[in-house]
Amino acid sequence: MKIGEFAPTFTSVKLRACIFLSLVVTFFAMNAEETGSRTTVGGGCFWCVDAVYQTVPGILRVTSGYAGGNVANPTYEQVCTGRTGHAEVVQVEFDPAKISYRQVIDLFWQAHDPTTPNRQGADVGPQYRSIILYENEAEKTAAESSKLEAQAHFKDPIVTEIVPLKTFYPAEKYHQDFYNKNPSYPYSEAVIRPKLEKFEKAVREKGPS
C-alpha cells in the first residue's frame, strides 16, 4: 500500500477517535452531579434558623418545614410529639452567583450548637436534632467536608446527621418568617434575638470565607 493511500485512512481513524472522546467527555459533563441552589437543614426551633439565614446576603428565600421522618404531611402538633421522625428544618434557597452551597453549610455551624443531641437550649426532643439533608452526592460530600472542618472549632463531637432528603413538608403559614413578623413575642426576645446577635458577631469576627 502506498503512503498516499494509507494517510486518509489513518486520518479518518484519528477523527473518529476524537469525536468519540468528545462525546464521552460531553456525556460525563452533562451527567456530573453538582450542588444545587437550595439546601435543607435543621438546628433546633426553625424560627431561629429561619431568622439567622434571612440575614445572609445571597439568600433568596427561607421556608420553615419538616423533614427526615416517616409521616406524610405532618402537622406542627404531630411533630411536637417527637414520634413522627421529622425534624424542624428550613429549606434555604440561594443565588449561587453570590453564595455557594458550601458557604451556606459553613454558616450552619454558627447558627446553632451542633454538639447537643436532640436539643437546642431549652428545646428538647428528636424534632430539634441537628441535621443536614442533601439532594445528591456532591452535596453530601460538601456537607461532610464542612462538618469535618467545623469540628476543629468545637470541644465536643458534632452530632449532626447528614442524610438524604426524601420529602420536605412546608410548615403552617404562621410559622413562616416568624421572627420578622413577631419580634416582640417572648420567645423572639428571649431566644431568637440573642442567637441572631451571636451569629452576626461570629460572622463578623470570622470575616469573609
**pLDDT at residue 64 tops 90:** yes
Closest CA to 199 of 36, 39, 44: 44
86-109 pLDDT, tens per residue? 999 999 999 999 999 999 999 999
pLDDT, position 206: 67
- pLDDT tens for 183-206 read 999 999 999 999 999 999 888 776
Strands 130-134 and 161-164: parallel
Residue 134, beta-bridge partner list:
164
Gap between the Cα atoms of 48 and 72, Å rounded: 24
Q: What is the largest CA-CA distance in the chain?
A: 93
pLDDT tens, residue by residue, 152-164: 999 999 999 999 9
pLDDT at 13: 40
Closest CA to 132 of 171, 101, 163: 163
pTM of the model: 0.82
Residue 45 annotated among the catalytic residues of the structure: yes
Q: Percent of the chain having pLDDT more than 90?
A: 78
Task: Kindly name the residue from 18, 45, 48, 80 that is annotated as catalytic.
Answer: 45
Looking up cell 433568596 gives 60
- Residue 130 in contact with residue 89, Cβ under 8 Å? no
**How high is the pLDDT of residue 207?**
54
pLDDT of residue 117: 96
Whether 29 has a pLDDT exceeding 80, the answer reads no
CB 67, CB 49: distance < 8 Å:
no
pLDDT at 6: 42
pLDDT at 26: 38
With beta carbons less than 8 A apart as the criterion, state whether 168 and 65 touch.
yes
Measured on CA atoms in the order 119, 120, 122, 123, is the torsion positive or negative?
Answer: negative
Considering only residues 3 and 132, tell me which one the structure prediction assigns the higher pLDDT. 132
pLDDT at 40 over 50: yes
Reference 132, options 95, 104, 155; nearest CA is 104
Contacts made by residues 180-184, CB under 8 angstroms, sequence distance 24+: 180/51, 180/54
- The confidence band for 25, taking pLDDT boundaries of 50, 70 and 90, is very low
Closest CA to 40 of 77, 65, 7: 65
Question: What does the mean pLDDT of the chain come to?
Answer: 87
